[in-house]
Amino acid sequence: MKFLLPLSVLSLLVSPCPAQVAADAVKSFADLEKVAAQLALQPYQAPTQQLDPFFEGLKYDGHRQIRYLRDKALFADLGDTYRIEFFHPGWMFKKPVMFYDMKGPQTVDVPFDRQNFEYGDLKVPADAKNPQGYAGFRVLAPDSLVKRPFEFMVFMGASYYRAVTTQLGYGISARGVAVNTIGGEPEEFPDFTHFWFQQPKLGDKSFKLLALLNGPSITGAYEFESTPGESTEMKIKATLHLRKAVKMLGIAPFSSMFWFGENSHPKPYDFRPEVHDSDGLQVEIEGGPSIWRPLDVSRDLRLSIFETDKLREPSRWWSFPQARRPGTTSWPCGARKNCPPRLLNHSKWSTNCSGSISMSQASSAR
């Protein structure tokens, strides 16, 4: 997976004049930047909804039975191209997410429709109230890519998203931004609250979408351009606006699972030689050494900081190939100096900077 992320962060003062999310006015990334800037002038309001008691009470086993009907996918009528399937609110995923289809000069709402789902063994009451929106979505590549339906990217929960290659399954996750992961302040988890999809065409190699980020301390406009394949690539542009000062701001953060590995001592009593999604972090410094930081677990929180003015090569999250988990390669292009890669708690990595940032970043999952 490759990410190209030109990113700017601006500090804004709170204005007494409220602004609304003019979703139908968004037809480009520049339009979305204006929306994010206006939203940063408003007091934060968390996205919430009161789900029907039936959906509110869903547990893991019940929620996983709900399947989006393949023939109802957004853009399914456009032929062999990219398609969108949505996730139903419930269980852990109760916040509403709004979606829009950028149909040329028009931007139209993609409303929740219960008829688009198959509920398995669940007996949904006939009078159950529909949710306000979907909980997230996944993107399917054209069937011609691997001669079958292929889900290669998922956005669901806060600002989390994941992608896979044609050869590997899901593993490490990315986030839109990390806020106060360390440093003593309460950690924040901003949400991608609105998405705009650019209609794909037959023969398109990549899929484009826009996303609006909203959190207590920050708003943001994002553009994702994703190309699936044996190495799935993503190019990302983002502009962030601060509602208030942020003590620790993480740019391009990743989260992964690690229980134990080859270097873990003592090992748990388990027949498997290692259990994790990622092995470690490799940092290539221009004019300096190659740093390898294996992941491990401990009783205490640990923070590893690698100071560098410029990375020579991509930073790599290495995976466990026997489990068919993807590794992720990430590198800044023309990044501001003194933004060191940081490894936190052996599972979360971010480039930490403060003030005004202009940077490009790329990553690759293989």
Termini Cα distance of the chain: 7
pLDDT at residue 23, rounded to an integer: 81
Q: What is the mean pLDDT of residues 280-290?
A: 76
In whole numbers, what is the pLDDT of the chain averaged over residues? 81
- For residue 55 the two structure tokens come to 């959906």
Q: Could you tell me how far CA 137 lies from the centroid of its own chain?
A: 11
Average pLDDT over residues 16-23: 52
pLDDT value at residue 332: 60
pLDDT value of position 356: 27
Q: What is the pLDDT of residue 295?
A: 81
Q: Does pLDDT of 170 surpass 50?
A: yes
| pLDDT, tens digit (0-9, with 9 covering 90-100), for 40-73 | 999 999 988 899 999 999 999 999 999 999 999 9
- Which helix (H) or strand (E) segment is 37 a member of? helix 29-39
Phi and psi for 184 in degrees, rounded to 5?
Answer: 100, -25
Q: Give the pLDDT mean for 290-315.
A: 73
The C-alpha atoms of residue 155 and residue 159 are separated, in whole angstroms, by: 8
Q: Cα(216)–Cα(45) distance, rounded to whole angstroms?
A: 8
Q: Which of 223, 180, 167 is nearest to 198 (CA)?
A: 223
Lowest mean pLDDT among 37-46, 180-189, 324-333: 324-333
Residue 239 to residues 43, 139, 210, 354, 356, Cα–Cα distance (Å): 19, 23, 12, 14, 11
Maximum Cα interatomic distance, the chain, rounded to a whole number of Å:
66
Range 20-41 average pLDDT: 89
Q: How far apart are CA 222 and CA 26, in angstroms?
A: 12
Instruction: Show the domains of the chain with their CATH numbers.
Output: 7-247 (2.70.98.10), 255-365 (no CATH)
* pTM of the predicted model as reported, rounded to 2 decimal places: 0.83
The pair of structure tokens assigned to 168 is: 């590997």
